[in-house]
Amino acid sequence: MTSPYNFAYLDEGSKREIRRAILKAVAIPGFQVPFGSRELPIARGWGTGGLQLTLSLIGPTDRLKVIDQGHDDSVNAVSIRNLVVATTHIETTDVTDQATIIQSRHRIPDDPLRPGQILILQVPQPEPLRHVEPREAQTRRMHAERDYSAVWLGLYEDIVRFGQITTGADYPAVVHHRYMIKPTPIPRWDLPKLHQAPFLTLLGAGRERKIYAIPPYTDVEPVAFEDYGFETEKFLSACRLCGSREAYLDELWDAKIQERIYQCSDTAYCRKRQTEIGKGDI
């Protein structure tokens, strides 16, 4: 079938430039590499950073999985998947293990990823220092000097006010004992999955024009005080569909039974578990 688009939408020069930025990002784990973010047929803020990474890396033999907050079928995930398929004609999948490239918004799949897979995360705001320092030149200087005390201060203020760290998603972490990153708004639950992960993680912010990376088997340490350590979310209940207690759960309100219910945020993981326990696909 003849496509009116270049393979993977972007022209080859753009892909080359983005790949160069990716290589630099992999070579300096956690460092935000500026790149010339391209115009795409989706609006900035809807995953253009992640999409440009996907489009510049994808080849005809790749299998793509796109998820949004853990869902394979949300509007954002479907739109991105359709765009990639329309311009590459590659196969897509919902099964984490079968994918070679996984583009995600705000979640890391609950199924463990294997070596060789690439996780691409869409990032709205890559700069962990932005809420304390609006000037880009200053934040670059602060990164160069490892001047991260303002980020720690934010956590300290949380502890003093509320008795605990209240940052739920986008919890700051230090990569390879050097650069502090915002790991996109993934929940705290997902952050330990990045530590010494066997897969490559690429993070792209299209609107902010930054790419950064966590190469395989790299240390990723959440920021924590000696007496107030890092903690993941705790769930009091199991998934109502698959009974899992090992996955990140969404909290829902069931108006019929007037109760709070929980179910897996990662729909592919939940379906797989339901099949395993004999509940069948829903």
Interface residues toward another protein, by CB under 8 A: 132, 141, 144-147, 149-150, 152-153, 156-157, 159-161, 225-228
Active site residue 30: yes
DSSP-derived pairing of the beta strands 220-222 and 249-254: unpaired
Structure token digits, residue 267: 């729909």
Minimum distance of another protein from residue 262's CB (angstroms): 31
Respond yes or no: is residue 13 known to be catalytic.
no
Is residue 45 flagged as an active site residue?
no
**Cβ neighbours for 1, distance < 8 A, ≥ 6 positions apart:** 89
In the set 30, 47, 70, 204, the catalytic residue is: 30
Please identify, using beta-carbon distances, which residue of 161 and 256 lies nearer to another protein: 161
We find the least distance from the C-beta atom of residue 219 to another protein, in angstroms, to be: 17
Choose the catalytic residue: 36, 50, 264, 278: 264
C-beta separation of 114 from 199 below 8 A:
yes
Is-contact 200 26, C-beta < 8 A? yes
Considering the candidates 70, 116, 270, 278, report the single residue annotated as catalytic: 270
Cα–Cα distance between 29 and 219 in angstroms, integer?
10
Verify whether residue 270 is a known catalytic residue: yes
Closest by CA position to 168, among listed 155, 153, 181, 179: 155
**Cα 33 to the center of its chain, rounded Å:** 17
- In this structure, the dihedral spanned by the alpha carbons of residues 227, 170, 274 and 256, taken in order and rounded to 10 degrees, is 100
Annotated catalytic residue within 116, 242, 243, 280: 242
**Nearer Cβ to another protein (174/213):** 174
Catalytic (active site) residue 59 = no
Q: Which lies closer to another protein via its Cβ, residue 130 or residue 279?
A: 130
In the bound state with another protein, the residue whose beta carbon lies nearer, of 114 and 141, is: 141
Q: Return the active site residues.
A: 30, 239, 242, 264, 270
